Structure 1
Amino acid sequence: MPAMLPTRLRVASATLSLFCMSMFGASQAATPPEHEAALQAIIAAFEEQYVFPEMRPRIAQHLKEAERSGRYDTQDAAEFAERVTADLQQVSGDKHLWLSVDPAGYAAAMETDNDDERVQAMWQRLALREHHGLTEMKVLGGNVRYLRISRFDWLNDQSGAAYDRAMSFLKDGDAVIIDLRGNGGGSHSAVRHLVSHFMDGDVLEMTFLEGSKPPVQSRTHEHLPAGRLKGMPLYVLIDLSSASAAEAFAYDVQQFKLGELVGGKTVGAANNNTLLPVAPNFILSISYGRPVHPVSNTNWEGVGVTPSVAADPAQALEVAHSLALKRLSERDGVSEENLLEYTWARAAVEASLHPVTFTKDRLQRLAGSYGSYKVEFRDGTLWLIRRDRAPARLSPMTADGLFAVERINGVRVKLTGKTMEVFRPGQPQPQVLPRA
């Protein structure tokens, strides 16, 4: 007889990151009968509720054959969980299927009277300690506003206010970059609130299907305290660690043509999952529903979301920033003041994307006195010396001799060997100093 499964713990929306950070848990011992009973419970769960009925017998058969082959003959619970996870994902292609060793989670799930309170308390603590997943906001060069969302947390009557403050910050920018690299998912309520700011109100955003139940629609909000950002140049950073709810937002951006996706292809985990306790100390993640997008009439399960601008994920921010500045510079009616700011900022971004090096001989030839300034070669680099000021290192930006001056408010100098041109932010023409 298969082991009985207590009431399941449903994740608010498809999510990977929260429970997969230590998916297989610490090594623990378990007896062969316990593993056998756990496997029977897992098979029973899939036969009863997996999102794709036609796949249920195939998954069950695959697990049974693996058991008969001796694949699960181990007393290490973590190793057992790892093998089951690999088999589930191999036969289904579903990244939301996994088994973890989680004694604390199992114990909480078994206390059925307090399930909802315990799960809610866990989510609330994480959300509040990490500012609802909105972990970084800053102004980049050219007034490009940056927001990092590490996870799509959502607490009713709390997270919305945090998102509204973040949206007010983004709204004052000339362009927006939202960083979803490494974001493993979370609540679709957060996705819905975020994407609503870039669309009209009351637009069908996603439909969720679960067995024979009536479809559930997600529609964009009609009222937004921070207002809308429609038409704002939008760049979203993604990579192979962007999953689930993070992919939902990226997919919306792609399908509704709201902006550019920059980086690498995402995981490909679209299904909605739930968490089930399995004796003795396991937690099983199983997909119970799936989203359908109104534009594509499908989703990103198994295929991921492909970026419109492919880039090394480690450099995706710089690539998106440079692209944003380039397109802002090319807009009709851009003011000379803004154009100068965009050009200035882009030069720094391009220098970080395409670093240049100078030979020791060339650096030594550029050293000398220029007006009240002196350029010295020491420790393999150039330093700018001014009276009564600390020396400032010169970092090469371009092959023609443009250098950034560290610690002096964005000042740059260009050394030609005969002159030093001093560039300051906001000034269209440099100060030219001949070499003494």
Structure 2
Amino acid sequence: MKPSADRLFIAVTALWLVTSPRPSFAQPPASGAVTAPARLTAAERDAALSSIQAELQRTYVFPEKRAALVERLDRERKAGRYSVDSPAEFAERVTADLTDASKDRHLYLVNDAARYTAAKAPRVRETDTDAYWRQRALREHHGLTELRVLPGNVRYLKVAGFHWVQDETGTAYDDALRFLKDGDAIIIDLRDNGGGTHAAVRYLVSHFLDGDVPLLTFLAGSKPPEQSRTLEHLPAGRLMGKPLYVLINPRVASAGEEFAYHVQQLKLGELIGSRTAGAANNNSLVPVAPCFVLSVSHGRPVHAVSQTNWEGVGIAPDVETPPEQALEVAQSRALKKLLATSGLTPALRSEYTWAQTTVEAGLHPVSVPPQALKSLAGRFGPNEVSWKDGALWLRRGSRPPVRLTPLTAEGLFSVEGYEVLRARLTGKALELLWSDTPEPTVFARG
């Protein structure tokens, strides 16, 4: 029997919750909502530490490490390290000690009364998302925050987080995947994606594989292993066979890493950027009075291909590049692959080449000496090229002048505000090139 997508999850990682907190959203307080105390009492601190230690003893994924974690908290408590009245500072100190003792990026304490209230609220079904995470998923469009058509019909999807709301998130993914399906190549941007749920990862990766393919086996203490497989029915259909590029950086963690790991291990595409965080364990979010949420690792995933996971080591990119250039590098590689396709029509070859020139100029900006640029200025029929403010400017007839930026050292320029228009200056002539016209319009110098 296969486990459901909603029972198997990798909850949001410490990178997302601690090092880059998101703003809370204004809303009326829920019935029974807890207000965070301005100051912690000694009794509240002791009670919180006791609850944390009990949870570690009961559920932490590695039984052999439980005693050491509990002892670390005891030692620091006796030394007075936690004798602070600020809930935020208390949570930060506990988190620092748990992380240091375990090296586990899913083991941390958050000071957040709204999340505490949501975590304590009863659920009708085990698969229900609590109120805090459901609201966040809806406001962030389930983590699918940007869709774009890049030059050359390369389709781009930004996945900021892997949210999952039962009976709601799948529809958002269906729409996004239909958009990607019409592209010639696909780029999925995971940069800064700190995690989410396995159900969302499973839904997305299923589109790039056949149905019923083994993904992960989840191990949790003495419980029977649970295996996750790709879905067999997908409303948007499969996206197999298209070039796929996935952008990663050191802030990609947990469920974000899971998707990248599937892409790499199952050879679905290329990872572009830099090594990820290394947070693989499965965690639960446990309310701790008076206003905290403890993330505690209770299990670990084992991948069907590698028979291990990415905990503590992260995932290395296939193509290492500064993360801020990863999108342009992925575009360049996608366009080169498309240009190498056999049987391309002249129109497609021209479109890909046009796009490739733009991308390469962004990756490798051309520097032309000012004197050489000045020599290209002049009158060309009804058009004028002038030198002003350290750049060349093109005026076409009576239109306002627009800036020219070098694309190549051979005199090819982009025209500001006109992606479909370029100018080539040879010294003797001005050539205006349109993306959908095979031959340039030539104007001799006057």
Task: Output the CA distance in 2 between the equivalents of 1:335 and 1:139.
Answer: 20
Worse-superposed segment, 120-129 or 342-351: 120-129
Q: For residue 7 of structure 1, what is the aligned residue in structure 2?
A: none
Q: Could you say if the C-alpha distance between residues 421 and 395 of structure 1 is closer, same or farther in structure 2, counting changes exceeding 3 Å? A: same
- Mapping 1:88-167, distance limit 5 Å: 88-112=98-122, 120-167=130-177
- Mapping 1:72-83, distance limit 5 Å: 72-83=82-93
TM-score normalized by structure 2? 0.90
Q: Could you say if the C-alpha distance between residues 111 and 341 of structure 1 is closer, same or farther in structure 2, counting changes exceeding 3 Å? A: closer
TM-score normalized by structure 1? 0.91
Q: Say whether 1:319 aligns with 2:329.
A: yes
In the alignment, is the contact (CA less than 8 A) between 2:118 and 2:132 conserved in 1? no
Q: Say whether 1:53 aligns with 2:63.
A: yes
Q: Could you say if the C-alpha distance between residues 115 and 39 of structure 1 is closer, same or farther in structure 2, counting changes exceeding 3 Å? A: farther
Q: Say whether 1:22 aligns with 2:32.
A: no
Residue 106 of structure 1: how far off its partner (Å)? 2.6
Task: Output the CA distance in 1 between the equivalents of 2:200 and 2:267.
Answer: 20
- Mapping 1:138-287, distance limit 5 Å: 138-287=148-297
Please point out which of 7, 10, 13 is paired with 2:10. Answer: 13
- Mapping 1:275-354, distance limit 5 Å: 275-354=285-364
1:38-70 Cα distance to aligned partner (Å, 9 max, x none): 222212211111011111112122222223333
In the alignment, is the contact (CA less than 8 A) between 2:123 and 2:130 conserved in 1? no
Task: Output the CA distance in 2 between the equivalents of 1:111 and 1:146.
Answer: 38
Residue 332 of structure 1: how far off its partner (Å)? 2.3
Query: SS in structure 2 opposite 1:366?
Result: coil
Q: Could you say if the C-alpha distance between residues 343 and 45 of structure 1 is closer, same or farther in structure 2, counting changes exceeding 3 Å? A: same
Query: SS in structure 1 opposite 2:375?
Result: helix
In the alignment, is the contact (CA less than 8 A) between 1:24 and 1:101 conserved in 2? no
Task: Output the CA distance in 2 between the equivalents of 1:114 and 1:226.
Answer: 30
Q: Say whether 1:391 aligns with 2:392.
A: no
1:269-300 Cα distance to aligned partner (Å, 9 max, x none): 11111111222222111011111101011111
Residue 357 of structure 1: how far off its partner (Å)? 3.3
Task: Give unmatched runs, 5+ long, in structure 1.
Answer: 1-9
Residue 433 of structure 1: how far off its partner (Å)? 2.6
- Mapping 1:28-39, distance limit 5 Å: 28-39=38-49
Aligned-pair RMSD on alpha carbons?
A: 2.4
Task: Output the CA distance in 2 between the equivalents of 1:106 and 1:197.
Answer: 35
Task: Give unmatched runs, 5+ long, in structure 2.
Answer: 1-6, 25-35
Q: Could you say if the C-alpha distance between residues 359 and 150 of structure 1 is closer, same or farther in structure 2, counting changes exceeding 3 Å? A: same
Q: Could you say if the C-alpha distance between residues 12 and 69 of structure 1 is closer, same or farther in structure 2, counting changes exceeding 3 Å? A: same
1:145-201 Cα distance to aligned partner (Å, 9 max, x none): 111111112222222122112111111111000011111111211111111111111
In the alignment, is the contact (CA less than 8 A) between 1:419 and 1:434 conserved in 2? yes
Worse-superposed segment, 213-222 or 24-33: 24-33
Task: Output the CA distance in 2 between the equivalents of 1:244 and 1:184.
Answer: 6
In the alignment, is the contact (CA less than 8 A) between 2:127 and 2:166 conserved in 1? no
Tell me the amino acid that sits aligned with residue 13 of structure 1.
I
Residue 12 of structure 1: how far off its partner (Å)? 4.7
Residue 136 of structure 1: how far off its partner (Å)? 0.9
Task: Output the CA distance in 1 between the equivalents of 2:282 and 2:12.
Answer: 8
- Mapping 1:373-392, distance limit 5 Å: 373-392=383-402
Q: Could you say if the C-alpha distance between residues 61 and 241 of structure 1 is closer, same or farther in structure 2, counting changes exceeding 3 Å? A: same
Query: SS in structure 1 opposite 2:250?
Result: coil
1:305-358 Cα distance to aligned partner (Å, 9 max, x none): 111011111111111001110111112222222121111101101111122333
In the alignment, is the contact (CA less than 8 A) between 1:24 and 1:82 conserved in 2? no
Residue 77 of structure 1: how far off its partner (Å)? 2.3
Task: Output the CA distance in 2 between the equivalents of 1:313 and 1:160.
Answer: 29
Residue 36 of structure 1: how far off its partner (Å)? 2.8
Residue 103 of structure 1: how far off its partner (Å)? 2.2
Q: Percent identity?
A: 54
1:210-251 Cα distance to aligned partner (Å, 9 max, x none): 111111111111122222111210000111111111111100
Q: For residue 3 of structure 1, what is the aligned residue in structure 2?
A: none
Q: Say whether 1:414 aligns with 2:424.
A: yes
Q: Could you say if the C-alpha distance between residues 113 and 268 of structure 1 is closer, same or farther in structure 2, counting changes exceeding 3 Å? A: closer
